[in-house]
Amino acid sequence: MSFDLILFGGTGDLAWRKLMPALFRAFRKGRLPADGRILAVARDEHGDESYRAWLQKRFDDGVSDRLPHQDAFTRFLALLQYRRMDLSQTDDYQQLHVWVDGRPGGAASTVVHYLATSPHLFPMVCQQLGASGLNGPRVRIVLEKPLGHDLASAQAINRAVQAVFSEQQALRIDHYLGKSAVQNLMALRFGNALFEPLWRRESIANIQITLAEDLGVGTRGDFYDRTGALRDMIQNHALQLLTMIAMEPPSSNNADAIRNEKLKVLHALRPFTAESVARDVVRGQYKAGTVDGAKVPGYLEEINVPADSRCETFVALRAEVLNWRWAGVPFYLRTGKRLAARDAQIVVNFRPVPHPIFPGSHTPNKLVIKLQPEDGLELHLLAAKGSGTTDALAPVFLDLDFDRAFPADRIGAYERLLLDAIAARLNLFVRSDEQEQAWRWVEPILAAWQADEAGPRPYGAGTWGPPAASALVARDGFVWGEEQ
């Protein structure tokens, strides 16, 4: 299958840190379809050769330790071309159309526009692509997050996209959905008979989703201060994970069948009010602290962060899914910067046995779905200690490491999503109605914070956030995973 991948924002951080390494890995492993061209588009002055040299230097300086195959990389560079474009100029799009139509050997079977630019440019780029005829049936467009700053801006972007591209052509990316462990969550639930009968309120006490980072905002202070943890992580990544945990079994592995069930979960989430935000949402902002023995600055001391910023770098919240499967089961979502560890995981805590007959059997079972830095599953059980008596039980766990189990088949998140975009596999992309409903759910939180003069709670760098986050869970008689 021939393809043209046009990468808008081809000199940006996302392009050289994530997208180009993912494309190279796919190329090196023979997964990238043959007869492909990759065109990087940006405002910088480059030709093909100077862009290739620029990218080579970025790899040498940043990621070459992970991509040591120089011969293969040299062949990969030969696929890359560069075009300087002013995204506001119609003539530049006309020239791009000439490049697409002038492909040696005839038109490509697939054209993918990947918008790795600032979201405020999305409407203009879509309008120009439509006016230039670069939106035909063989064309798809990939939209990077953040898709809007609130519901109104997200809807404005969607209107601009939908005026030019059909819903089937518009691929809204959430790279967490490309993680192998997330895809195995679907296989775990709907490909096995073991867990689905237990996947309900009668057996599950609570579910915890943690997306923790040990790094601060670094040089992204200006962007992050306009975004915050709720918009950056909860509205998209965390809610997508929640929908995949809570969704009903879809009728098929078809993209719309899956996304219909995810949308039902978003509609079933208990709406927030000003009162419930005060009770069920904790926001924090990291202060100076110690990480790995080194002192690190607080958020207000980071580069390009206003000294009086009220931006949240931590969010913990309690959610409920109001349906028969999940009524009464709390879902705890947590994310933050400068926390105690880099750790992304989902913990499904089962209810204890109804009548314990062994000492130690009060400890409930749990399933841990590890997203990063490891990729796998842990099932925590109880077993006899092996001391010749069955009177006492001790915790044991079954550990499935996907990287060890399937070493030749592992695909990184961006690699998976790029290959799916080229092949028109839509299962792992977010539909516009999902995205907008997620914004509807978080907007009351944003409104309540706007009216709250107290601001975010402080927490020390290198901790697990404000103490109020532990109190949020303890109120229901539970603790976070690291406290168990």
- Which of 303, 340, 309, 329 minimizes the C-alpha distance to 466? 340
Question: Is there a single domain that holds both residue 320 and residue 403?
Answer: yes
What whole-number distance in Å separates Cα of residue 384 and Cα of residue 290?
Answer: 40
Question: Is there a single domain that holds both residue 266 and residue 159?
Answer: no
Question: Is there a single domain that holds both residue 317 and residue 335?
Answer: yes
Does some domain include residue 223? yes
Q: Give the pLDDT confidence score for residue 65 in this predicted structure.
A: 43
Residue for token pair 């006016």: 131
- 429 close to 257: Cβ distance less than 8 angstroms: no
Question: Is there a single domain that holds both residue 315 and residue 210?
Answer: yes
Does some domain include residue 425? no
Question: Is there a single domain that holds both residue 400 and residue 325?
Answer: yes
Q: Name every residue whose Cβ is closer than 8 Å to that of residue 35 and which is 6 or more positions away in sequence.
A: 1, 2, 3, 105, 108
What whole-number distance in Å separates Cα of residue 253 and Cα of residue 339?
Answer: 37
Residue segments in the chain with a per-residue pLDDT below the cut of 50: 64-65
Buried b (16+ CB within 10 A) or exposed e, 80-109: bbbbebebeeeebbeebeeebeeeeeeebe
- For β-strands 376-384 and 366-372, DSSP reports them as antiparallel
Does some domain include residue 250? yes
Q: Give the pLDDT confidence score for residue 361 in this predicted structure.
A: 62
Buried b (16+ CB within 10 A) or exposed e, 191-214: eeeeeeeebeeeebbbbbbbbbbb
Return the CATH number at 58.
3.40.50.720
Q: Give the pLDDT confidence score for residue 64 in this predicted structure.
A: 45
- Which of 271, 322, 274 minimizes the C-alpha distance to 439? 271
Sheet holding 3-8, edge to edge: 80-84, 36-42, 3-8, 110-115, 139-143, 170-172
Does some domain include residue 56? yes
Does some domain include residue 417? no
- Which of 75, 70, 78 minimizes the C-alpha distance to 37? 78
Q: Give the pLDDT confidence score for residue 389 in this predicted structure.
A: 56
Which of 146, 172, 198 is the C-terminal boundary of a domain? 172
Question: Is there a single domain that holds both residue 201 and residue 145?
Answer: no
* Tens digit of each residue's pLDDT (9 = 90 or more) over 92-101: 999 999 999 9
Active-site residue identified among 113, 175, 237, 380: 237
Q: Name every residue whose Cβ is closer than 8 Å to that of residue 223 and which is 6 or more positions away in sequence.
A: none
Mean pLDDT, the chain, as a whole number?
91
In sequence order, the β-bridge partners of residue 269 are 321
Question: Is there a single domain that holds both residue 242 and residue 145?
Answer: no
Does some domain include residue 288? yes
Amino acid found at 268? A
Question: Is there a single domain that holds both residue 274 and residue 344?
Answer: yes
Does some domain include residue 342? yes
How many domains are contained in the chain?
A: 2
Question: Is there a single domain that holds both residue 130 and residue 193?
Answer: no
Is 355 assigned a catalytic role?
A: no
Question: Is there a single domain that holds both residue 182 and residue 168?
Answer: no
Question: Is there a single domain that holds both residue 158 and residue 219?
Answer: no
Q: Give the pLDDT confidence score for residue 225 in this predicted structure.
A: 94
Question: Is there a single domain that holds both residue 384 and residue 340?
Answer: yes
* Tens digit of each residue's pLDDT (9 = 90 or more) over 187-246: 888 988 888 899 999 999 999 999 999 999 988 888 899 999 999 999 999 999 999 999
The domain of 309 spans: 177-409+431-483
Which of 155, 172, 189 is the C-terminal boundary of a domain? 172
Does some domain include residue 193? yes
- Which of 112, 136, 127 minimizes the C-alpha distance to 157? 127
- 112 close to 140: Cβ distance less than 8 angstroms: yes
- Which of 71, 79, 73, 45 minimizes the C-alpha distance to 58? 73
Residue for token pair 């518009």: 170
Which of 172, 198, 218 is the C-terminal boundary of a domain? 172
Return the CATH number at 266.
3.30.360.10
